[in-house]
Amino acid sequence: MASRTDSELIHDFKKGEVSAFNELVRRYQQKVYWIARRLLGSHEDADDAVQDVFIKVHESLRGFRAESSFFTWLYRIAVNVSLNALRKRRVLSLFGSEEVPEVAADDDPVERISRDEYSAALQKAISRLPAKQKAVFVLRYYDEMPYAEISKILRTSVGGLKANYFHALKKLKTAVKKDLEE
Amino acid sequence: MNCQDVRYRLPEYARGQLTAEESETVRQHLEVCPTCAADLKELAELYSRLDTVAFRPPHESYWVNLLPRIRARLEKRSRRMVPRWIPRYALPLTAAAALVAVFVTVFSPRSPDATVGAPVGTYKVELRSMLNQMDSSDLSELEQQSSLIALADRKKENGSGADSYVIKSLIGDSKVLYSAFDVNVQSSIEGLEDTEMDAILDRLNQTTFFN
């Protein structure tokens, strides 16, 4: 039997079929996880975010009117939840109750040691990108998403996104260079 | 095509993501423009390095267990729904009140010897729980307020100042705060005068959160 489309699953969910939501989670859990992981750095933070995303989806899906595709809508929620988590981390760090990680923490010591100096500096630079630039960078570089699609997710013009992406890359180049010189 | 046109196309050119026609136009420009050619070389190196920055994927069992964990949280939530009569702004206001409490404790003229760190710890657990329930606009607002407090905090802690230009910008336009904060306001704390400190406090007093 052919698998149901997103629209069919949403339709069935609205009619009360619980398994339709489960199917949507299984279909998109990895994509949502990797957006959150790349934006937040650690597995633990990404895990919290991915659960929050699907809980929001569950709560809002009945009101979803398909003005955009489910994929775009889901990505928008994933990016917003992750950026909110970054903001919370920043606010908490101002009160000394939480450290902002220097690098996007992937806390495997073996992996960390095996990284070369440049890659470590690069990872640190990525973790320090301003939130919006980081979101554009993750969607464009890692997901290779077209600007037109990112534009729908972040509600920003394509021109603005191109500038954001260019400046994010420039910032990474400069930050890595500076870090390696120190 | 001039340098400005080429600049924003270089990231896509370096990854072979332009159309054949666009790609050819960029290539022709690169042949006659050493500046853009140098930019491309740097960009290509950055991309090759970026490809080596990888996160360790979670264990395969994570994907199997994720859905049951989400369902368990949904089940738990359905048992303790927040009553509808609680207004949506209750949480940000409570968080703001906590911030005010920290602020007043630290800067109250009646407690000149109060240490800066002590009251912060008292509120942090409560603050964390409230932050977890706030939406993005509330957080943006709070982030702006708290970064101002952090500036004041540092001033008190270090007894020395901040970059007066940055601080004046902050006082003059709270929108500047956000972008300035992004490039790390806290690193610009040299040279803050008492009068500027007073101006920050006045500014705080005028904001929604502190009235």
Among partner residues B11, B120, B132, which is closest to A95 by beta-carbon distance? B120
Q: Backbone phi, then psi, for B163, in 5-degree steps?
A: -70, 110
**In terms of pLDDT, which residue wins out, A105 or B63?**
B63
- At residue B2, the pLDDT reads 83
- At residue B114, the pLDDT reads 38
B99 and B175 inside one domain: yes
Closest CA–CA distance from residue B142 to any residue of chain A (Å): 8
- At residue B71, the pLDDT reads 94
**All residues at 6 or more sequence positions from A32 whose CB lies less than 8 Å from its CB, including other chains:** A50, A53, A54, A74, A78
Cβ contact (<8 Å) for B117 and A96?
yes
When mean pLDDT is compared over A140-154, B86-100, B102-116, the highest value belongs to A140-154
- Tell whether A123 is within 8 A of chain B (Cβ): yes
Which chain B residues are within 8 Å of A29, Cβ to Cβ? 63, 66-67
The rounded mean pLDDT for chain B is: 64
Instruction: List, as ranges, residues 166-195 from B with C-beta within 8 Å of A.
Output: 182-183
Lowest mean pLDDT among A19-28, A172-181, B168-177: B168-177
B41 and B107 inside one domain: no
Read off the amino acid at residue A58: H
Number of domains in chain B: 2
Q: Mind listing the pLDDT tens digit for each residue in A87-104? A: 777 766 665 545 555 444
Q: How far is CA B113 from the centre of its chain?
A: 31
Mean pLDDT of B112-129: 46
Q: Mind listing the pLDDT tens digit for each residue in A149-158? A: 999 999 889 9
**In terms of pLDDT, which residue wins out, B2 or B172?**
B2
Q: Is the pLDDT of residue B183 over 50?
A: no
Cβ contact (<8 Å) for A91 and B146?
yes
**In terms of pLDDT, which residue wins out, A58 or B5?**
A58
Q: Which CATH architecture has domain A7-100?
A: Orthogonal Bundle (1.10)
Cβ contact (<8 Å) for B121 and A97?
yes
- Specify the CATH number for A107-182; select among 1.10.10.10, 3.60.15.10, 3.90.226.10, 3.40.50.300: 1.10.10.10
- At residue B165, the pLDDT reads 43
Give the Cα separation of A136 and A33 in Å (integer).
16
DSSP string, B101-119: HHHHHHH-TT-TT--SHHH
Cβ contact (<8 Å) for A26 and B67?
yes
- At residue A52, the pLDDT reads 95
Read off the amino acid at residue A137: F
Domain hosting residue B176, numbered range: 90-210
Mean pLDDT of A111-132: 75
Closest CA–CA distance from residue A1 to any residue of chain B (Å): 23
Instruction: List, as ranges, residues 54-73 from A with C-beta within 8 Å of B.
Output: 54-55, 58
- Tell whether B135 is within 8 A of chain A (Cβ): yes
- At residue B173, the pLDDT reads 42
Q: Is the pLDDT of residue B104 over 60?
A: no
Lowest mean pLDDT among A101-110, B108-117, B119-128: B108-117
> Over pLDDT 70: what percentage of chain A?
84
- Tell whether B147 is within 8 A of chain A (Cβ): yes
Mean pLDDT of B115-130: 48
- At residue B51, the pLDDT reads 77
Give the Cα separation of B157 and B176 in Å (integer).
24
B183 and B104 inside one domain: yes
Q: Mind listing the pLDDT tens digit for each residue in B186-195? A: 333 334 455 5
- At residue A55, the pLDDT reads 95
- At residue B73, the pLDDT reads 92
- Going from N- to C-terminal start, the domains of chain A cover 7-100, 107-182
Helix axes B194-206, B136-158, angle to 10 degrees: 160
The rounded mean pLDDT for chain A is: 84
In a domain, B77, yes or no: no
Mutation site, A94, A119, A154, interface B, largest B CB count within 10 A: A94
B29 and B104 inside one domain: no
Among partner residues A30, A166, A176, which is closest to B7 by beta-carbon distance? A166
Mutation site, A24, A28, A61, A95, interface B, largest B CB count within 10 A: A95
B102 and B204 inside one domain: yes
In a domain, B76, yes or no: no
3-state secondary structure (DSSP) of residue B135: coil
In a domain, B120, yes or no: yes
- At residue A114, the pLDDT reads 43
In a domain, B67, yes or no: no
- At residue B198, the pLDDT reads 55
Q: Is the pLDDT of residue A1 over 60?
A: no
In a domain, B200, yes or no: yes
In a domain, B81, yes or no: no
Q: Mind listing the pLDDT tens digit for each residue in B20-37? A: 999 999 999 999 999 999
B116 and B18 inside one domain: no
Nearest CA in chain B to A94: B150
- Tell whether B77 is within 8 A of chain A (Cβ): yes
Q: Is the pLDDT of residue A22 over 90?
A: yes
